[in-house]
Amino acid sequence: MNGLKILGAIAGATLSLAAIMGATTETATAFTLGGHLDGAEFDVLGLDIPWAAESRIGRIGDHEINIHDSTNSAQNRVQADYDNWVSGEAVDFSLVFDSIANTLTYTVDDVVVSKTEVFEDNFSDLYIRTSARKDDTSIVVNNLFLDDASTLSPLSIADSSSASCSGGVGCGYVDADYLHIADIVGDFTLTGQSTMTWGAIKPNNSNLAYQIKLVEGIDVPEPASISLFSLGLAGLLVAGKRRQ
């Protein structure tokens, strides 16, 4: 077999394998729903949460929207003021992860905060936490859609995260609700709505809030071009031995 035929055979084998891998990618399993946890159950997991996006009815004189790291220190937090919450009215939000730009972008209504220098390659899991810690308050995060590298278009998430407090006894940390979204692939866009509801007195100091907590994924890089070429060449060597 001359050089041109060898190169042609390698290219053919490589393209065939690429087509198979491409088909596998298109039919890759989309993200999954992992159920619900309360605050105590979530803590038992002992997860490392490198980043989170948060909305809340804020502390007096403090911000209401932010992206923060595990330390929640001012140096690693981006934030914005937002005081347009209306009891019982839904507010749109989106969270976008761009691994090329190393950026998380969080939009609530028309307010945008963006955190650069986010060096995780990917995030495999999201935990959407809702909490209502004052009597006669509630919150729901729903109408969720997620688009990641395994989907061809945004897919609806047929679940929600919600919390409420009533009965005059007050509510605490463990009363929160965590909705777990798992098996996320690559860059993603999450959209949804939050609805906060309260009675005669509007709560403050984060007593009505939600967070989107991000768990870093495990990435095992393998350059596709090298792998395809190597497999194609291996196939030719085997075929050559058989002819001999």
Does residue 239 lie in a domain region?
no
For residue 229, pLDDT over 90 is answered with no
What's the pTM? 0.79
Q: Average pLDDT of 102-114? A: 98
Task: Kindly report the backbone phi and psi dihedral angles of residue 196, in degrees, each rounded to the nearest multiple of 5, phi listed first.
Answer: -105, 135
**CATH number for the domain that contains residue 79:** 2.60.120
pLDDT confidence band for 29 (50 / 70 / 90): low
Compute the radius of gyration of the chain from its Cα atoms: 24
In a domain, 231, yes or no: no
- Give 31-57 pLDDT, tens digit per residue: 999 999 999 999 999 999 999 999 999
Query: Residue 11 pLDDT more than 50?
Result: no
Taking 80 as the threshold, does the pLDDT of residue 68 lie above it? yes
Task: Return the structure tokens found at 8.
Answer: 């042609």
Residue 23: inside a domain: no
Domain ranges, residue 59: 28-219
| Residue 12, domain member (yes or no) | no
Phi, psi (rounded to 5 degrees) for 41: -65, -35
Question: Does residue 13 lie within any of the structural domains?
Answer: no
Token representation of residue 217: 């994924």
Number of domains in the chain: 1
Determine, yes or no, domain membership for 21: no
Mean pLDDT of 176-193: 97
Q: How far is CA 242 from CA 11, 17, 239, in A?
A: 20, 21, 5
Number of separate helices (H) and strands (E) present in the chain: 3, 14
Per-residue model confidence (pLDDT) at position 83: 87
Average pLDDT over residues 181-195: 97
Alpha-carbon torsion (106, 163, 83, 194), positive or negative: positive
pLDDT at 192: 98
> Is residue 236 in a domain?
no
* Within-domain flag for 243: no
